[in-house]
């Protein structure tokens, strides 16, 4: 057990004295859970091997699953990466700070423990004022994965972090809810054409617009099956998973009413087998399940998938907390914009238990 302190920092106007306190923990080789605009991260001084190792231990994360290096200015980019291609410079100048992670060649300064001994490094500049202030004040790039126990849904509030990591980390910064609620988009720029390793809060379409070319989108980036470990090391593990069984029910969303009725059949079928199901669904279709007496967790409107993404991990955790629910069925969403990230997370969370109706 580690003694865990909790520090409440205003996300809009971070109190410099509190940020200094948190940065002091990083500088002394401690590990700190901090808010970003995507999800909460668990950070350590990138250049301190022992500190980075503590991140893996606290999360019980396999050591072959590399971390993202979070930076606060462009000098730090050239400190941790080499051979930075022009495409990286254009994406970074357009989207940083923001929820886009770039995979680049790693510099000798970054210890192997951060990158799982690969010759590449994942880098991003987060847009959250507390994250940026913390990195600046620490004076070093902060290596961080999401601040959850390995395999669990990523934390979108400090309460989620407390639930998973209290007693395992030195400090938890509480700045309320994160903005996007899904992790950053990861693009591998060491390959030509560039490859999408993980869809996330930055829509792929926007990245393609700036690059002027299409990304390669491997099936695993859509959440369809396991990743090739050589390409995306962390992606082979079960991720985002609730403890209860989750099934994703996919179909034709252009005929929404007909689709939801078919989902309802699948759900009622489970109920007749004696299971007590809940449905994760869109605002538009929620009443169809409610009318049939099914427990509903609304994710948000299909017309604004941003909201769906934002609520997703919270909803997955909520299912686990419902005493009268045995399993969950999730509606599918169109794989456009943030919908691609939503479907990647849902399919992976289900352990690829996908039904087509």
Q: Which residues neighbour 257 within 8 Å (Cβ) at sequence distance 6 or greater? A: 285, 288
The alpha carbon of residue 163 and the mean position of all alpha carbons in its chain are separated, in whole angstroms, by 17
- Rule CB under 5 A: choose which of 46, 48, 146, 178 binds Mg ion: 146
Whole-angstrom distance, CA of residue 319 vs CA of residue 277: 10
DSSP characters over 8-55? E--SSS--HHHHHHHHHHHHTT--EEE--SSS-EEEEETT-HHHHHHH
8 A C-beta contact, residue 98 and residue 37: yes
- Rule CB under 6 A: choose which of 58, 158, 235, 340 binds ligand AMP: 235
- Rule CB under 6 A: choose which of 118, 222, 244, 261 binds ligand AMP: 118
Radius of gyration of the chain (CA): 20
Q: From residue 191 to residue 230, what is the string marking binding to ligand AMP with x (rule CB under 6 A)?
A: ------x---------------------------------
Position 115 contacts ligand AMP (CB under 6 A): yes
Q: Segment contacting ligand AMP (CB under 6 A): 71-79, 113-121, 260-268, 324-332? A: 113-121
- Rule CB under 6 A: choose which of 37, 45, 79, 183 binds ligand AMP: 183
Q: How far is the CB of 294 from ligand AMP (least distance, A)?
A: 32
Count of beta carbons in the 10 Å neighbourhood of residue 6: 13
Residue 217 or 322 having the CB closest to ligand AMP: 217
Q: How far is the CB of 192 from ligand AMP (least distance, A)?
A: 16
Q: How far is the CB of 183 from Mg ion (least distance, A)?
A: 6
Among residues 303, 300, 292, which one has the least CA distance to residue 334?
Answer: 303
Position 186 contacts ligand AMP (CB under 6 A): yes
Number of residues that bind ligand AMP (CB under 6 A): 18
- Rule CB under 6 A: choose which of 46, 87, 120, 175 binds ligand AMP: 120
Residue 150 or 308 having the CB closest to ligand AMP: 150
Whole-angstrom distance, CA of residue 176 vs CA of residue 211: 34
- Rule CB under 6 A: choose which of 132, 135, 221, 232 binds ligand AMP: 232
Q: From residue 129 to residue 168, what is the string marking binding to ligand AMP with x (rule CB under 6 A)?
A: ----------------xx----------------------
Residue 103 or 319 having the CB closest to ligand AMP: 103
**3-state SS class at 279:** strand
Torsional class of 247: left (φ above 0), alpha (ψ -120 to 50), beta (otherwise): beta
8 A C-beta contact, residue 333 and residue 199: no
Phi/psi at 100 (nearest 5 deg)? Answer: -125, 125
Q: From residue 38 to residue 67, what is the string marking binding to ligand AMP with x (rule CB under 6 A)?
A: ---------------------------xx-
- Rule CB under 6 A: choose which of 153, 233, 242, 300 binds ligand AMP: 233
Helical pair 86-95 and 204-211, crossing angle rounded to 10 deg? 130
Q: Segment contacting Mg ion (CB under 5 A): 3-11, 144-152, 298-306, 329-337? A: 144-152
Q: How many helices (H) and strands (E) does the chain have?
A: 12, 16
Among residues 137, 126, 101, which one has the least CA distance to residue 37?
Answer: 126
The alpha carbon of residue 186 and the mean position of all alpha carbons in its chain are separated, in whole angstroms, by 10
**3-state SS class at 142:** strand
Residue 39 or 307 having the CB closest to ligand AMP: 39
The answer to whether the Cα torsion of 347, 234, 241, 146 is positive or negative is negative
Select the binding partner of residue 178 from ligand AMP, Mg ion, none (C-beta < 5 to 8 A, by kind). none
Whole-angstrom distance, CA of residue 33 vs CA of residue 158: 9
Residue 95 or 259 having the CB closest to ligand AMP: 95
What residue ranges bind ligand AMP (CB under 6 A)? 65-66, 68, 103, 115, 118, 120-122, 145-146, 183, 186, 197, 232-235
């Amino acid at each position: 057990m580690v003694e865990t302190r909790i520090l409440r920092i205003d996300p809009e106007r971070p109190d410099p004295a509190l940020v200094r306190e948190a940065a002091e923990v990083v500088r002394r080789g401690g590990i700190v859970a901090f808010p970003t605009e995507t999800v909460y991260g668990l950070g350590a001084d990138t250049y301190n091997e022992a500190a980075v190792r503590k991140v893996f231990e606290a999360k019980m994360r396999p050591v072959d699953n590399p971390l993202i290096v979070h930076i606060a200015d462009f000098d730090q980019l050239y400190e941790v990466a080499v051979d930075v291609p022009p495409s990286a410079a254009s994406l970074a100048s357009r989207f940083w700070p923001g929820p886009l992670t770039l995979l680049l060649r790693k510099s000798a300064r970054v210890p192997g423990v951060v990158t799982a001994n690969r010759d590449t490094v994942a880098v991003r500049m987060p847009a959250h004022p507390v994250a940026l202030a913390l990195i600046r004040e620490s004076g070093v790039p902060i290596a961080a994965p999401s601040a959850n126990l390995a395999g669990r849904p990523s934390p979108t509030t400090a309460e989620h972090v407390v639930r998973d990591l209290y007693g395992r980390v030195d400090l938890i910064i509480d700045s309320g809810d994160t903005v996007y609620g899904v992790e950053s988009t990861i693009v591998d720029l060491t390959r030509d054409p560039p490859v999408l390793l993980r869809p996330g809060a930055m829509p792929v379409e926007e990245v393609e617009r700036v690059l002027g070319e299409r990304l390669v989108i491997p099936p695993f980036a859509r959440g369809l099956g396991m990743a090739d470990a050589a390409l995306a090391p962390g992606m082979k593990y079960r991720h985002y998973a609730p403890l209860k069984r989750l099934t994703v029910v996919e179909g034709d969303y252009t005929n929404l009413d007909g689709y939801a009725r078919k989902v309802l059949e699948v759900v009622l079928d489970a109920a007749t087998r004696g299971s007590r199901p809940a449905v994760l669904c869109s605002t538009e279709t929620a009443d169809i399940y409610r009318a049939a007496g099914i427990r509903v967790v609304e994710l948000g409107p299909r017309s604004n998938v941003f909201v769906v993404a934002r609520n997703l991990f919270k909803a997955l955790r909520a299912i686990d907390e419902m005493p009268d629910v045995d399993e969950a069925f999730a509606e599918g969403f169109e794989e456009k914009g943030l919908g691609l990230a939503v479907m990647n997370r849902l399919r992976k969370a289900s352990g690829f238990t996908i039904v087509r109706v």
